[in-house]
């Protein structure tokens, strides 16, 4: 059996066993544009963007990693989970978030299910001895 024939058999099996969408997804590098990630964020209930210098300084982040929350849409899944404006999303369902692409991929995957967690760095409440805190938010099922 030659190599091209073997590759053809394996590809055929992959397409038949898991379906074309899943088979193609395994070869896709998971690309996600900033616009797609922003749109997913809005669907979830937040307006997000890359961490800017002001938020980086406020939260004393060593690097501008994560995704900054600039607005929380009322009565959304994000709002119900307690995600706050000016927080930085660092993790979604145990997936590290370094940038908008990571955010979009992780959120897209998490929102296909019912329950997931979002880990954030948040500004502390006024009068607290530290300037930031780490918080984990439980996101429940979408309710109509």
Q: Measuring CA to CA, which residue among 116, 124, 105 is closest to residue 67?
A: 105
* pLDDT tens-digit series, residues 18-36: 444 333 333 345 789 999 9
Output the pLDDT for position 130.
64
The whole-angstrom separation of Cα 37 and Cα 103 is 7
The whole-angstrom separation of Cα 138 and Cα 60 is 25
* pLDDT tens-digit series, residues 59-116: 888 889 999 999 999 999 999 999 999 999 999 999 999 999 999 999 999 999 889 9
Domain ranges of the chain: 1-30, 32-139
Class of domain 32-139: mainly beta
Q: How far apart are the first and last CA of the chain?
A: 56
Prediction pTM value: 0.74
Output the pLDDT for position 2.
53
Output the pLDDT for position 37.
98
Sign of the C-alpha dihedral computed for residues 43, 89, 138 and 114 taken in this order? positive
């Amino acid at each position: 059996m030659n190599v091209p024939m073997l590759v053809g058999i394996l590809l055929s099996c992959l397409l038949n066993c898991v379906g074309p969408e899943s088979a193609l997804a395994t070869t896709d590098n998971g690309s996600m544009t900033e616009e797609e990630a922003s749109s997913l964020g809005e669907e979830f209930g937040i307006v997000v963007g890359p961490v800017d210098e002001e938020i980086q300084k406020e939260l004393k982040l060593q690097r501008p990693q994560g995704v900054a929350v600039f607005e929380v849409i009322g009565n959304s899944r994000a709002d119900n989970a307690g995600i706050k404006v000016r927080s930085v999303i660092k993790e979604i369902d145990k997936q590290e978030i370094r940038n908008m692409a990571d955010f979009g991929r992780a959120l897209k995957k998490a929102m296909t299910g019912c329950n997931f967690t979002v880990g954030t760095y948040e500004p502390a409440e006024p009068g607290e001895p530290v300037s930031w805190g780490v918080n984990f938010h439980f996101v429940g099922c979408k309710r109509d």
